């Protein structure tokens, strides 16, 4: 484990959007490995990219590897991740273990220190993409002025629902432009040319599971259990790139200039200044350059003291999921054991 060149890696759920993105990140980043195993459930066995053929996760011996990424459905992680964690570092991008207090919940740009206690093997959970984007931007602002409340409206891309949801958006768009009525299977109603104020199921309190996850995960990553987060999660007809409109209140007075200065120096953040020719980040522009969480429309809240409004945009699959997963792995590899 002390020699990165000998690292043996498995990617479970490799046929998913995030699985493919993790493999791309591993090849692009400086995380040397000697073995890379592509794994999935039996339905996807035999699929291959230019270099990797997909094997059956049910038949794989996890004692053969040092590092495992779970990138598919939560059911795969629930079935195999804990057993794998007895032998290897396991980084799970599903929601299977996010709420467990004994499992570190990590955003590499925000709370990398929680990985120091993992040791030579163990289970690590990653937050959802919207939570990653929100925590990455709130962390430096909290260090500056002490965030106490965040009102958030999210604009979730359909890729958060997987490859099938993306295919459905494309097919629905063609159908509607041809004068046909789309079926609307992925989200219970058509998504093309539509906006749906629901991401995941609605619970008995009227709050969606995604809204619950957003505040629970963000509080935990920031180590702010009392942070007030009021969220509305919305699905929009965009392929990649989650957007968040954020209205944040702080303990101490904070100017736009001071906030901009902090964000310009923050880990994983790129601030689009008001006088930039880009003006603000959008899914069709900066979300396609997935190495940062982008912030724009930074301004004072004229209705409240010590409050700011801003817009956040990040590639949900590549930056918030795959990039975060591989960044967490790099921290583990470089932490003395």
Which of 245, 226, 225 lies closest to 308 in space, CA to CA?
A: 245
Q: What 3-state class would DSSP assign to 40? A: strand
Q: Read off the pLDDT of residues 109-139 as tens digits, 9 standing for 90 and up.
A: 999 999 998 989 999 999 999 999 999 999 9
- Residue 232 corresponds to which tokens in the numbers above? 């509305």
Residue 143 confidence (pLDDT) above 80? yes
The strand ranges marked E within 114-202 are 122-125, 147-156
Domains and CATH numbers, the chain: 4-126+321-334 (3.40.50.720), 130-316 (3.30.360.10)
pTM above 0.85, yes or no: yes
pLDDT number for residue 290? 67
Q: Are residues 195 and 234 in contact, defined by beta-carbon separation less than 8 angstroms? A: yes
Q: Read off the pLDDT of residues 40-62 as tens digits, 9 standing for 90 and up.
A: 998 878 766 667 889 999 999 99
- Mean pLDDT on 92-105: 96
Rg of the chain taking only CA atoms, in angstroms: 20
- Mean pLDDT on 217-232: 98
Which of 220, 197, 214 lies closest to 320 in space, CA to CA?
A: 214
pLDDT band at residue 334 using 50, 70 and 90 as cut-offs? confident
- Residue 279 corresponds to which tokens in the numbers above? 């003006």
Residue 1 confidence (pLDDT) above 50? no
- What distance in Å separates the CA atoms of residue 39 and residue 37, rounded to the nearest whole number? 6
């Amino acid at each position: 484990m002390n020699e990165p060149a000998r690292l043996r890696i498995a990617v479970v759920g490799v046929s998913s959007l995030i699985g493919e993105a993790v493999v791309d990140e591993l090849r692009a980043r400086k995380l040397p490995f000697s073995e890379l195993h592509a794994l999935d459930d039996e339905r996807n066995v035999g699929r291959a990219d230019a270099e990797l053929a997909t094997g059956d996760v049910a038949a794989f011996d996890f004692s053969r590897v040092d590092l495992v990424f779970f990138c598919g459905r939560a059911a795969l992680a629930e079935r195999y991740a804990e057993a794998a964690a007895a032998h290897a570092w396991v980084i799970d991008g599903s929601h299977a273990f996010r709420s467990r207090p004994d499992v570190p919940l990590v955003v590499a740009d925000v709370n990398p220190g929680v990985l120091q206690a993992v040791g030579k093997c163990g289970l690590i959970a990653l937050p959802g993409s919207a939570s990653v984007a929100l925590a990455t931007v709130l962390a430096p602002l909290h260090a500056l002025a002490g965030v106490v409340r965040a009102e958030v409206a999210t604009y979730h891309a359909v890729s958060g629902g997987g490859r099938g949801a993306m295919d459905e958006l494309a097919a629905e768009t063609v159908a509607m432009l041809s004068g046909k009525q789309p079926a609307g299977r992925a989200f219970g109603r058509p998504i093309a040319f539509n906006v749906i104020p629901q991401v995941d199921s609605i619970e008995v309190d009227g709050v969606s599971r995604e809204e619950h996850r957003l505040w629970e995960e963000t509080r935990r990553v920031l180590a702010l259990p009392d942070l007030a987060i009021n969220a509305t999660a919305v699905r929009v007809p965009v392929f990649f790139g989650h957007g968040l409109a954020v209205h944040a209140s702080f303990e101490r007075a904070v100017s736009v200039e001071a906030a901009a200065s902090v964000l310009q120096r923050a880990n994983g953040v790129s601030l689009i200044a008001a006088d930039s020719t880009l003006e603000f980040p959008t899914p069709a522009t900066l979300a396609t350059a997935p190495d940062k969480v982008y912030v724009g429309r930074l301004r004072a809240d004229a209705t409240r003291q010590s409050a700011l409004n801003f817009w956040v945009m990040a590639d949900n699959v590549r930056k918030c999921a795959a990039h975060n997963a591989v960044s967490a792995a790099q921290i583990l590899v470089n932490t003395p054991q």
